[in-house]
Structure 1
Amino acid sequence: MTVTDAARESVESALEVTKVDSHLHPEGSFDVADHPVPTGREEVWRFTPLKRLRDLHADADLSGTHVGAEADAPDGVRIESFEADSPLRGSSGFVPVDRVSARVWHEAARRYAVTVPRETELDAPVFIDMRGTGIDEASATHLVLTAEPHSKATVVFRFIGSATLADLTEIVVGDGAQLTVVSIDDWEDDAVHLGHRHAQVGRDATFKHVDVSFGGNVVRHDTTAEYAGPGGSVEMLGMYFADGDTDHGGQHIEHRLFVDHTAPNTRSNVIYKGALQGEGAHTVWIGNVLIRKVAEGIETYEENRNLVLTDGCQADSVPNLEIETGEIEGAGHASATGRFDDEQLFYLRSRGVEEAEARRLVVHGFFNDLIRKIDVPAIEEKLTETVEAELAKNVLKGFPGSVA
């Protein structure tokens, strides 16, 4: 579980990883004092409604225990819990880049380690439910997930209930391992969740991360990945659905991604899709890929698509590429935000499909290709049902201001 500073420096030296100045990935530090309380004027916080975070971004007491873990795992998977005064020192290379993650690393009241042993191939997913039982006290959790070399596993996190939560998940994908992590925010409408996920992908390893955000009042996820050797592959998939006019204000769902190509001949592919409906619904997607000088022969692509279903919504989408070497296979990005495709609706209506059903089919078509990429049948079926339930809230009822 522990990696020494000398070992980390040796790896960095071997890969020639040097410091790169960028406002999108600030220099990290474990010292909380190095991270001032954000004001909202910073580039990395300018989209986030700080006043609705219940002070998680500042100095909220994180000693609450209103969020606990319930696990269902196949034989052979090791699941451990640790005392609050025993900080986990995972080997993911994670270093906090903001005050929230630094405080969680030091102060989390609940800490867990999940390990898939070397050369183990699981025949069923690991399910971990992070259940919240109240919003009055802020909670913090820290989990280290390790897929040891040449293992193969799928781990599903489900965030449910009510909570004010700041969490940190470190993920280590060993050499030659294949790991899929699915994270589902299915909170009640009053939840606030600031999540940090950091993955280190080993030589010739494959990592797929699926991030699904439907529930909660304010959800902000920072997801980062780096490489510990050549040949690694990262796939980040995400889907989200934001509603407006809730009792706690329109939903704010924010995803910030950073893929750091720290080794040659690595791959990354990012696809996120979101839908919005109702007054005050707000989504944010910030994608950033850094291709360092050492990362020759890499290939990367990032894409974000947003479908605006009613008036009164706002979708912010900002893709970024930072390239320090021209010796690459390819790099690109795409971003689009739009309303219903009038031609698709006209085509369906002209063939006798009722308007509500036509809208439903268009939205399902928007999400279905992404859902199929998850490759966890039980999750795929559940997500299809959830999309249907979200649509029933407004669009299929003829929500005022819906796009004709």
Structure 2
Amino acid sequence: MSTATDTPAQHGLAAHSHGAGTEPDGRTKGALDRFASFDVEAHPVPRGREEDWRFTPMNRLRGLHDDAPLDGSDYTVQVDADPRVTAASIGADDTRKGTSTYVPVDRPSARAWASAEKIFAVDIPRDEVIEQPVVIRLTGTSAERGAAAHLVVTAGRHSKSVVVIEYDGSSSFVENVEVVAEDGAELTVVAVQDWADDAVHLAHHHVHVGRDATVKHAVITFGGDLVRTGTTLNYAGPGGSATLLGLYYVDAGQHIENRLVVDHNTPNATSDVEYKGALQGKKAHAVWIGDVLIRKEALGINTYELNRNLVLTDGARADSVPNLEIETGEIEGAGHASATGRFDDEQLFYLQARGIPADIARKLVVRGFFASLINRIGVPEITERLMTTVERELAVVEAMTADDGA
């Protein structure tokens, strides 16, 4: 067994944890200790001193974490799907709700669970191969009132499918997304958060990986004033394989936060986490927290998590905290890596020395930084659009650079 930050390091311990935070009362808290409840009032209102909230600017949450009304319905939903796929609103008490095994781990998630009047359910029939991606487009029309939503995506046994969730417009939004891949299913879920500049989005995704199922889950974040996404994942049986991918581009004043917990609760499963982000402008802030839990029963598992941040201008900040909590040494491997660095001037000089203008050279470097991850997502229908959006964001930093040089 080995773990790594940027270079491998031997631990030789059957159980260990590192990177766990400290609560206001001084006690150490790891991801295994997370409190979960459907009862909203069982979750105290976070104040920003808690480990799970210490990076989040609480004064920008518009009370979504407290008791602001969640009675807004200022958004529209459109669906484009193969006729074999069922996609429809269902009652909040439908039995499909909760099939992912998720129990809310914080107050906003519990509030969304309790307040969503309807659930939007996407069901992929068992044994079907769906070539056309299911596309769900949610467009917010106002950020003045808080809104709650709940989405359940279920991939039937031995099915194969792709689901893309797109967010844009203005909103103050809390939601839960449950993803269930039944035994032997192959499922890709991609959430693209391209909100307007005034949007606040608190989301929790929970992924439940069936026996011998393969799941790819990706969170792409470009827009919004504050976007915080929690992702949890566990397994229904041995043989499950999970890939968690993320891309974020943070502009001046934006706060984008991703928190992940991968719970290896069964033997012979794998997980691979890779998140990459770029930051530009004053007070651009990215937060990535990655927890991997390896329980005593998780024999023979293999896991790795990676976070990379590219800082393009002064005034931007990235916080990156990878954690491992290991209760057994009988595993194939477990490691993590994290790095935050400035734009590589040597690469830029190399390209300029070969006659490539500075603005084009900068685009090439950043495209190269993101290209491998976008290719791993593996959804051709959105690949070029993601690269186009990256270049749109790059145009902002080019304008900033030109102003500074003027």
Fold shared, TM-score > 0.5 on shorter chain: yes
Q: What residue is the counterpart of 1:334 in the other structure?
A: 337
CA distance in 1, matches of 2:32, 2:364: 37
**Contact conserved, 2:31 with 2:261, CA < 8 A, in 1?**
no
Aligned length: 378
Query: Which residue of 2 is the match for residue 172 of structure 1?
Result: 180
The residue that corresponds to 1:117 in the other structure is 125
Aligned counterpart, 2:18: none
Q: Following TM superposition, by how much is the alpha carbon of 1:80 offset from its aligned partner in structure 2, in angstroms?
A: 2.2
Residue 163 of structure 1 pairs with residue 171 of structure 2: yes
Match of 1:379 in 2: 382
Q: Measured at CA, do residues 311 and 151 of structure 1 come closer, stay the same or move farther in structure 2, by a change above 3 Å?
A: same
What do residues 4-53 of structure 1 show as CA deviations (whole Å, max 9, x unaligned)?
xxxxxxxxxxxxxxxx9725761211111210000100000000111001
2:268 to 265, 283, 287: 265
Moved more, 344-353 or 287-296: 344-353
2:83 aligned with 1:82: no
Moved over 4 A (4+): 83-88, 399-402
Unaligned runs of 5+ in 2: 1-27
Aligned-pair identity in percent equals 57
**2:358 aligned with 1:350, yes or no?**
no
Secondary structure (helix, strand or coil) at the match of 2:37 reads coil
Q: Do residues 66 (structure 1) and 74 (structure 2) align?
A: yes
Q: Is the 8 A contact 1:68 1:110 kept in 2?
A: no
Alpha carbons of 1:24 and 1:62: their partners in 2 closer, same or farther (altered >3 Å)?
A: farther
Matched, 1:388 2:396: no
Shift of 1:351: 1.2
Moved more, 203-212 or 345-354: 345-354
In the alignment, does 2:323 pair up with 1:304?
A: no
Structure number with higher relative contact order (C-alpha < 8 Å, ≥ 6 residues apart): 2
Q: State the Cα deviation string for residues 236-271 of structure 1 (Å, max 9, x = none).
A: 111000100xxxxx0000000110001000000000
Aligned to 2:369: 366
CA shift for structure 1 position 342:
2.3
The aligned counterpart of 2:162 is 154
Spell out the pairing of 1:262-301 with structure 2 (5 A cutoff).
262-301=265-304
Q: Distance in 2 between matches of 1:52 and 1:271?
A: 28
- Hey, what's the Cα distance between the residues in 2 that align with 1:102 and 1:284? 22
Deviation at 1:357, TM superposition (A): 1.6
Asked whether 1:190 is paired with 2:193, we answer no
SS in 2 for 1:30: coil
Other-structure match for 1:5: none
Aligned pair partner of 2:39 in 31, 35, 47: 31
Separation in 2, partners of 1:320, 1:24:
12
| Partner Cα separation in structure 2 for residue 228 and residue 84 of structure 1 | 24
The normalised TM-score by structure 1 is 0.91
Question: For residue 240 of structure 1, what is the aligned residue in structure 2?
Answer: 248
Q: Given the two structures, how large is their TM-score scaled by the length of structure 2?
A: 0.90
Structure 1 residue ranges without an equivalent (≥5): 1-19, 245-249
Counterparts of 1:219 and 1:191, CA distance in 2: 8
Deviation per CA, 1:304-349: give whole Å up to 9, x if none: 0000000000000000011100000001000000011122112112
Matched residue, 1:137:
145
Compared with structure 1, are the counterparts of its residues 271 and 25 closer, same or farther at alpha carbon in structure 2 (3 Å cutoff)?
A: farther
